[in-house]
Structure 1
Amino acid sequence: MYFYKGYESVAGRINETVDYRSPRDSNGHGTHTASTAAGGLVGSANFLGLANGSAAGMKYTARIAAYKVCWALGCTNSDLLAAMEQAVKDGVDVLSLSLGGAPKPFYNDNVAIASFGAVQNGVFVSCSAGNSGPASSSVSNVAPWIMTVAASYTDRGFPTTLFLGNGAKFEGSSLYYGKSIKNLPIVYAGTAGGKKQGANYCINGSLDKKLVKGKIVVCDRGLNGRAEKGQIVKSARDRNGGEEMLADPHVLPATSLGASAGKELMNYIASSKAPTASIVFRGTTYGANAPVMAAFSSRGPSSIGREVIKPDITAPGVNILAAWPPVTAPTQLKTDKRRVLFNIISGTSMSCPHISGIAALLKSTHQNWSPAAIKSAMMTSAYDLDRSSSSVSATAFAFGSGHVDPERASDPGLVYDVSTEDYLNYLCSLDYNATQMSAVLSGKSFECPEGSDFRPGDLNYPSFAVNFKRGGGGRNETVRFRRTVTNVGTDVCSYRVKVEEPVGVSVVVEPEVLEFGRLGEKLGYSVGFVAAAGGGDSVPAFGSVVWSAGKYSVRSPIAVTWEQQ
């Protein structure tokens, strides 16, 4: 289905020479994400020979219901809300939303409002965390009833090696599939455009053909897309991204470099009278250390509802191969005449449908599980170690509970379930008034109970976000949360707790043992957090609470922040 009335009320009638006024995809984003979640099993899937192999969506036997809400100039809230409401009416089990914006209070957040209605109807909702990392508090889609998904690398790469004329060499990344180039003159784009503004970024029309023909051109990162820079260099014949080197489908021999390599390259060009370079394209490789968090993946802590750790989880979101519409160039540039059936792109838009597909798998196995139970199963079974069994070099504000483990999520042992009433009590604990509560409930009224001792941190969430006062006032401050777990593992079992305390914080769990006598039994516990004298103050600290019984290990991360009084 497609939803366009909101868009056309703002932008005018859809230009059908640019976009299809139908559910058909001319952009590629929707095709890529849908096939990641539930695309069929396909052999010899590849991008121009790269990443060749069999490909399938996470739940490739599931049925896809696609709702097109975005057009050439963007998306409108009214179309998005209409599509989500229709999806719920149609009886979908999972909603996958690879979109988002700046975080807002939940009563002003249309995605949060529509998602709340979906969850009330038993629909699991996953959303991308955003691509504004690594800035702190950049994460979006932070409502606690939404599964917020960060992005990480897999062990697959598309490496290049840049050799300079002085013997130095640097590793890069590229999806260019042609021959390597050897011993060509190399020039900085900032000096190859005369005095034209934007030449250093290889902006369209900024380069002098005579100065770049037959040379390797070095473009600064920023302002325009990386693949577009290559197209501009072809037509003419940073530090913002740090060391991250995403692979792009360049139209000519090109590679990305990290900031430190870029600095050395610029020093070489400036100091050499006749600088030269070669680029070797090494195709597809496997075995890199993974997972590694993507720099672009938005980070916590959440600026809205800080009592919940966001993002919730991470999944593969860098250099992801998935289906692509045959009418659209892999770079989405009009001047790119290549056409493919699969493309490799990156973003939290790519990690989100991995989680959506896994949610569909879990729903098919555990049909009576609520959206919160499915979410809990994935979060408490996630891992935070890489292939070498070392801790991932990041924190819960980057990866949430960790990297998703579908197999363990199917049999988590315990789950933290959350009802609609629990979410409403949470909103009441945020001091929402009647108007704000009505907004979240799409016009329905709800009166918050008087005298309730429910605090935001008491939401039965599978993680712990603890906020202490900064400075002397926070010394020996105690915060206590309550949780309830449901036994979904074995009939009779005994779980014992193990705590990894955050620096500067002591943690006490009561009781230390949970004795279950049957499946479906619910038991509660409390966790006390005490700010130790001389600890914390300003730097976030992290730890975990782990309940273990036999093969089960149910882990919940702890994130402690220190707020100004």
Structure 2
Amino acid sequence: MSGIWPESPSFNDKGYGPPPPKWKGKCAKGANFTGCNNKVIGATYFNLDSAVVTEELTPVDTDGHGTHTSSTAAGVSVPSASLYGLAPGTARGGAPSARISMYKVCWYFGCSDMDLLAGFDAAIADGVDVISVSIGGPGRDFFEDPMAIGAFHAVKKGIFVSCSGGNSGPELMTVQNVAPWMVTVAASSIDRQFQTAVKLGSGLGVSGISINTFSPRKQLYPLTSGSHAANASAKAYGNASVCDWGTLDQRKVKGKIVYCVGMGQDSTIRELGGSGLIMAADLYPDVAFSFVVAATAIKPTDGTKIDGYVNSTKRATAIIYKTKTVNMAAPFVASFSSRGPQLITPNILKLYHCRSTSSTALTIAPEAKPTPMKIKQQDAELGSGSGQINPMKALHPGLLYDISMSSYISFLCKQGYNSTTIRLLTGGNKLYNCSTLRPARGTDGINYPSMHLQLPNPNSTISAAFYRTVTNVGYKNSVYTAKVKLPEGLEVTVVPTTLSFNRLRQKRSFKVVVKGKFVEEDAWILSALLEWSDSKYSVRSPIVVYRQLFAVI
């Protein structure tokens, strides 16, 4: 991570006692670092790649990302929080009672492999319960990936590891951190939209998306466009209509609201003395940005109307209002959240919507770690993956899909790893001979709640078998019955169709056979749902079959 600001109200330690006796971490010294407290009980940094670090060596967050993600995961309740009055409410992390230790491994140049691994090593040695890592990178084989290697060793010690799936959506095949021993977290929406309205002198009103905290000081401001404000004598390369730097005439911009095609011109408009900015771009309604001038982003169709108005009069005027929050349905997968399928192990369906839930669950039900969050499945698409987590129900799931470390080794053998590559991942002196191990069964070879099949070519027949084992953590005496929801063209058989338990922690196994074909020629994904339910619990597993549409070189 990029460090932490311990003085943030989100990390106030009021009401906290001293760190637990098991804690072995430290609080490193550094420039501008105010020190730890009983909430932030550890903070250190790693710069083993010191040849390229030009920043001051300190745990202090020089970027903001580490502080943001830490407060999201475990920040205490901060009442009356807002951004200059916008979106008022209580700011609170998912597990507000949890303590925090920060391991700074990212610098201005990025996050080096050796620093990432050093951070994992330190967290494991310090005695943490959960490792939350909001860092991503290009996909690599597990034995070359520091995230996969570090997470493997943490899980081996009983530590829950949660990693971000990435912010490269909505494009497919962009998900990161896909090792099966880590929980991959997608981005989810909030229940509010930030709408910033524009009103033209003609009376036309347009609604845009932004976080605009600037209150207008006039009823109307002069309005122009990048095209009208072009600097005819400028030698700069660029396009005035998109307000590229160096293409505009300051005399034509000063004191005016400027309409530009595209996003991100606010610094240019401010430098030239402009009063505001209207940007026309293809938008996602769940993403709002703040700008250094009063600004809003509108749809291109609305931009055409504004451009037409500017061209129709010599005295165009407009006003940009302060942003208002509007309630909207939630949650849904954020537009920027990375999507599957993942390319390292295509038959594993990743992306969960959890992070802080794991901290709470491990506190209440420590016997379930390190895989308690791989339980409650609610959806079956490449964006939402295994679905949104219900934090309360996740504490009492009914059934667990446990995975042992030996199962991970068998999975790696099935993926084509050998004793050498497995040792690069696991470390130590032990050599694993895949030929002597119990082979992983089924299409994916792992005890995952989700079931995922990538067809080798678009015309392949659908045929897969998944073997699963569940552990009873619900009622002592219980009977679960299988129910399957199917799309046209898919056939799913569950054997057996009932699972009977007469004691807690008892295990039962079942087999799921998936067959069929794509009925529609242009369809590329089929999604089904397996649900095990008794009188109280409902445990759902997505079943996804998709055609391989892209050649991977």
Instruction: Confirm or deny a common fold (TM above 0.5).
Output: yes
CA contact (8 A) 2:46 2:119 kept: no
| 1:504 maps onto 2:503 in alignment | no
Q: CA deviation at 1:258?
A: 3.7
Q: Which residue of 2 aligns with 1:447?
A: 433
CA contact (8 A) 1:139 1:302 kept: yes
CA contact (8 A) 1:7 1:75 kept: no
Which of 81, 85, 98 aligns to 1:45? It is: 81
| 1:257 maps onto 2:294 in alignment | no
Deviates more, 1:106-115 or 1:87-96: 106-115
**Whole-angstrom distance in 2 between the partners of 1:455 and 1:187:** 64
Q: CA deviation at 1:68?
A: 0.9
**Whole-angstrom distance in 2 between the partners of 1:245 and 1:513:** 42
Q: CA deviation at 1:527?
A: 0.6
Task: Identify if the C-alpha distance between structure 1 residues 531 and 239 changes in structure 2 by more than 3 Å, giving closer, same or farther.
Answer: farther
Q: CA deviation at 1:467?
A: 2.2
| 1:127 maps onto 2:151 in alignment | no
CA contact (8 A) 1:503 1:535 kept: no
**Whole-angstrom distance in 2 between the partners of 1:504 and 1:270:** 55
CA RMSD of aligned residues (A): 2.6
- Equivalent residue letter for 2:439: S
**Whole-angstrom distance in 2 between the partners of 1:405 and 1:501:** 24
Q: Which residue of 2 aligns with 1:491?
A: 476
Q: CA deviation at 1:256?
A: 2.1
Which of 526, 530, 539 aligns to 2:524? It is: 539
| 1:78 maps onto 2:111 in alignment | no
CA deviations over 1:421-462 (Å, ceiling 9, x no partner):
111111110111222212221355322135835345131111
CA contact (8 A) 1:182 1:279 kept: no
Q: CA deviation at 1:164?
A: 3.7
**Whole-angstrom distance in 2 between the partners of 1:141 and 1:5:** 22
CA deviations over 1:233-260 (Å, ceiling 9, x no partner):
1111199854346222323211122454
CA deviations over 1:496-545 (Å, ceiling 9, x no partner):
11111244221111111111111111111111110237456751111211
Q: CA deviation at 1:25?
A: 1.5
**Whole-angstrom distance in 1 between the partners of 2:219 and 2:386:** 46
Q: Which residue of 1 aligns with 2:237?
A: 197
Task: Identify if the C-alpha distance between structure 1 residues 290 and 356 changes in structure 2 by more than 3 Å, giving closer, same or farther.
Answer: closer
CA contact (8 A) 2:86 2:323 kept: no
| 1:415 maps onto 2:400 in alignment | yes
Deviates more, 1:213-222 or 1:196-205: 196-205
Query: After the TM superposition, which residues 100-139 of structure 1 pair with which residues of structure 2 at under 5 Å, given as runs?
Result: 100-139=136-175
Task: Identify if the C-alpha distance between structure 1 residues 262 and 2 changes in structure 2 by more than 3 Å, giving closer, same or farther.
Answer: farther
Q: CA deviation at 1:231?
A: 2.9
Query: After the TM superposition, which residues 474-489 of structure 1 pair with which residues of structure 2 at under 5 Å, given as runs?
Result: 474-475=460-461, 477-489=462-474
Q: Which residue of 2 aligns with 1:327?
A: none
| 1:306 maps onto 2:341 in alignment | no
Aligned partner of residue 252 in structure 2, secondary structure: helix
**Whole-angstrom distance in 1 between the partners of 2:139 and 2:397:** 31
| 1:146 maps onto 2:182 in alignment | yes
CA contact (8 A) 1:2 1:67 kept: yes
How many residue pairs align between the two structures?
496
Deviates more, 1:165-174 or 1:363-372: 165-174
Aligned partner of residue 304 in structure 1, secondary structure: coil
Task: Identify if the C-alpha distance between structure 1 residues 471 and 203 changes in structure 2 by more than 3 Å, giving closer, same or farther.
Answer: closer
Aligned partner of residue 210 in structure 1, secondary structure: helix
Which of 232, 245, 256 aligns to 1:215? It is: 256
Which of 387, 396, 405 aligns to 1:402? It is: 387
Query: After the TM superposition, which residues 161-560 of structure 1 pair with which residues of structure 2 at under 5 Å, given as runs?
Result: 161-180=197-216, 182-189=219-226, 192-194=229-231, 196-198=236-238, 199=240, 202-221=243-262, 226=264, 229-237=265-273, 242-244=283-285, 246-266=287-307, 268-269=309-310, 275-285=316-326, 287-311=327-351, 313-314=352-353, 355-372=354-371, 374-377=372-375, 379-380=376-377, 383=378, 396-442=381-427, 444=429, 445-450=431-436, 452=439, 454-455=441-442, 457-472=444-459, 474-475=460-461, 477-532=462-517, 534=519, 539-560=524-545
CA contact (8 A) 1:4 1:79 kept: yes
- Equivalent residue letter for 2:526: A
Q: CA deviation at 1:266?
A: 4.4
Greater Rg over alpha carbons, structure: 2
CA contact (8 A) 1:243 1:257 kept: no
Structure that is richer in helix per residue: 1
- Equivalent residue letter for 1:212: V
CA contact (8 A) 2:214 2:294 kept: yes
- Equivalent residue letter for 1:143: A
CA contact (8 A) 2:196 2:212 kept: no
**Whole-angstrom distance in 1 between the partners of 2:58 and 2:514:** 54
Task: Identify if the C-alpha distance between structure 1 residues 64 and 243 changes in structure 2 by more than 3 Å, giving closer, same or farther.
Answer: closer
Q: CA deviation at 1:53?
A: 2.3
- Equivalent residue letter for 2:108: A
CA contact (8 A) 1:245 1:256 kept: no
Greater relative contact order structure (CA < 8 Å, 6+ sep): 1
Task: Identify if the C-alpha distance between structure 1 residues 252 and 370 changes in structure 2 by more than 3 Å, giving closer, same or farther.
Answer: same
Task: Identify if the C-alpha distance between structure 1 residues 256 and 456 changes in structure 2 by more than 3 Å, giving closer, same or farther.
Answer: same
CA contact (8 A) 1:244 1:258 kept: no
Task: Identify if the C-alpha distance between structure 1 residues 165 and 122 changes in structure 2 by more than 3 Å, giving closer, same or farther.
Answer: same
Deviates more, 1:194-203 or 1:109-118: 194-203
Task: Identify if the C-alpha distance between structure 1 residues 483 and 265 changes in structure 2 by more than 3 Å, giving closer, same or farther.
Answer: farther
Q: CA deviation at 1:204?
A: 4.9
- Equivalent residue letter for 2:363: S
CA contact (8 A) 2:373 2:394 kept: no
**Whole-angstrom distance in 1 between the partners of 2:541 and 2:55:** 49
Aligned partner of residue 291 in structure 1, secondary structure: coil
Task: Identify if the C-alpha distance between structure 1 residues 253 and 358 changes in structure 2 by more than 3 Å, giving closer, same or farther.
Answer: same
Task: Identify if the C-alpha distance between structure 1 residues 479 and 15 changes in structure 2 by more than 3 Å, giving closer, same or farther.
Answer: closer
Q: CA deviation at 1:64?
A: 0.4
Aligned partner of residue 160 in structure 1, secondary structure: strand
Task: Identify if the C-alpha distance between structure 1 residues 272 and 499 changes in structure 2 by more than 3 Å, giving closer, same or farther.
Answer: farther
**Whole-angstrom distance in 1 between the partners of 2:465 and 2:338:** 29
Task: Identify if the C-alpha distance between structure 1 residues 310 and 263 changes in structure 2 by more than 3 Å, giving closer, same or farther.
Answer: farther
Give the % identical residues: 37
CA deviations over 1:70-104 (Å, ceiling 9, x no partner):
12222211111101110001111111111101222
CA contact (8 A) 1:158 1:284 kept: yes
Q: Which runs of 5+ in 2 are unaligned?
A: 1-42, 274-278
CA contact (8 A) 2:441 2:467 kept: no
Q: What's the TM-score once normalised by structure 1's chain length? A: 0.81
**Whole-angstrom distance in 2 between the partners of 1:247 and 1:220:** 17
